[in-house]
């Protein structure tokens, strides 16, 4: 549920939602036409202009479920698995779950082929998905197989009990040994596919960054998230003037199909059922490692 604040009012609801959600304006309009968006409990029209304190509910899952999300055979890199959880090392280029315009060849399709035992709290379109990482971000992702595990892990993520460490290669040579970026993140008003540091419609965001190694034109860093905003590391690094290398969205340089050099390297969490403390790491992707070797030699 989204609640409209004063500076957001008098905007068409289809535009408001496309600016403040992951969905396109076309998909939002489709939801509205199927009575899957409600304002203050009532059906609405795309032309409706939002008012302060409007409460907006979106039932996107019902439309996504109609698109026949099929199990797909896929090579999953499973780091850990038991009856309640899985830890996956996701490759760069793989979308986590079906969304507007993309219903096939996602990690969810692969998980559905691999097992019937996935939590259904997230709906049919997101079985097992407790959190996500960007399509072109590689590394560790935590999956819930049981509903009880999903409930506990969701609460753990919400209350920052799951610790995540990323490794990123930044453009430029960062002079200090470490930094903490405390800057709010919200939807970019000129490009809905991007996020930005902004005071408008934003959420608190903190990233702790530490230098691991400096190269002639790059800096390898570790990033620890205190919050989990969309594109957080990518937005924060670009904001301080050191964008993630090869980022097709937040770097001004031309990017290859591999996407941003950002890897979810380490994850530490308490098992939702056994309460055992678990920690996992995932090696850098081959392309990431090869590029580091190349700039080391040069």
List active site positions: 134
Bridge partner list, 139:
90, 264
- Longest CA–CA span in the chain (Å) reads 63
Residue 284 near residue 140, CB atoms below 8 Å: no
Q: Give the Cα separation of 253 and 258 in Å (integer).
A: 14
Nearest one of 201, 140, 142, 147 to 167, comparing CA atoms: 140
Q: If phi over 0 gives left and psi between -120 and 50 gives alpha, with beta otherwise, what is residue 160?
A: left
Which residues, at least 6 apart from 4, have a Cβ–Cβ distance to it below 8 Å?
16, 50, 51, 52, 53, 54, 55, 56
Give the number of other Cβ atoms within 10 Å of residue 133's Cβ.
Answer: 21
Question: How far, in Å, are 116, 197, 273 from residue 209 at the CA level?
Answer: 39, 17, 32
């Amino acid at each position: 549920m989204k609640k409209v604040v004063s500076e957001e009012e008098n905007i068409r609801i289809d535009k408001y939602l496309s600016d403040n959600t992951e969905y396109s304006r076309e998909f939002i309009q489709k939801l509205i036409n199927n009575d899957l968006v409600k304002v203050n409990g009532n059906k609405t029209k795309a032309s409706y202009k939002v008012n302060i304190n409007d409460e907006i509910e979106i039932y996107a899952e019902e439309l996504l479920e109609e698109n026949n999300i099929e199990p797909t055979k896929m090579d999953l890199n499973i780091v850990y698995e038991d009856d309640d959880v899985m830890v996956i090392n996701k490759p760069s280029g793989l979308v986590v779950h079906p969304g507007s315009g993309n219903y096939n060849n996602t990690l969810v399709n692969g998980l559905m082929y691999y097992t019937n035992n996935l939590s259904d709290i997230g709906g049919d379109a997101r079985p097992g998905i407790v959190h996500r990482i960007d399509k072109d971000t590689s590394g560790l992702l935590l999956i819930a197989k049981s509903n009880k595990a999903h409930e506990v892990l969701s609460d753990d993520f919400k209350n920052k009990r799951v610790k995540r460490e990323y490794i990123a290669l930044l453009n430029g040579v960062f002079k200090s040994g470490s930094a903490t970026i405390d800057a709010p993140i919200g939807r970019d008003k000129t490009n809905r596919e991007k996020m930005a540091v902004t005071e408008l419609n934003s959420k608190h965001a903190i990233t702790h960054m530490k230098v691991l190694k400096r190269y002639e034109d790059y800096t390898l860093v570790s990033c620890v998230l205190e919050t989990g905003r969309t594109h957080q590391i990518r937005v924060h690094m670009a904001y301080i003037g050191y964008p993630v290398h090869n980022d097709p969205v937040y770097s001004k340089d031309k990017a290859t199909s591999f996407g941003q050099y950002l890897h979810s390297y380490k994850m530490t969490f308490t098992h939702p059922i056994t309460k055992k403390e678990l920690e996992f790491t995932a090696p850098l992707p081959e392309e990431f490692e090869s590029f580091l070797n190349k700039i080391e030699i040069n």
